[in-house]
Every structure is written in C-alpha cells, then in structure tokens.
Amino acid sequence: RQWTYQYCSQLAYLQTPGKATKPLRSANTTLPYWLDYCARIYGTKMSPKTESWNMRFGGKNPSVSNVIYTNG
C-alpha cells in the first residue's frame, strides 16, 4: 500500500498500454483509469507531484554518488 501511495502521489508510475503495437496491458488502463483508481483507494482525488519530486532528487541527472540502480 505504501508503494501505491507513492506512485499515486509522487512518482506517476501509472503504466498505460502502448499505442504503436498490440499492448500487453489492457486498453482500459488509461491515465483517467489510474487517477480514478488512486482516488478510490485513498478517498480523495490526487495526482502525482512529479515536478517537486524531480526538483528534490535531480530528475534525470541526480547529483549523487555510490548509487546502485537495481531496476536496470
């Protein structure tokens, strides 16, 4: 549930199907679907605040050292 809150409120890790090829995910999992999903779980409308997250941690160019990215 913590990961769900994080992607609903901060990270925007809302996976939608691709359009170029036949998607592996349901065509129904659109952005409005995920925003409604988050609202139903937490009882309030929310959208990810990616701008503040990226400013805090450096976005695509984080200023860090000694980091291992385990997701490739």
Q: Once rounded to an integer, what is the mean pLDDT over residues 29-38?
A: 92
- pTM of the shown model: 0.69
- Mean pLDDT of all residues in the chain? 87
Cα separation, 42 vs 20, in Å, equals 33
Cα separation, 66 vs 43, in Å, equals 39
Q: Once rounded to an integer, what is the mean pLDDT over residues 64-70?
A: 85
Q: Once rounded to an integer, what is the mean pLDDT over residues 22-26?
A: 79
DSSP 11: I
Q: Once rounded to an integer, what is the mean pLDDT over residues 64-71?
A: 84
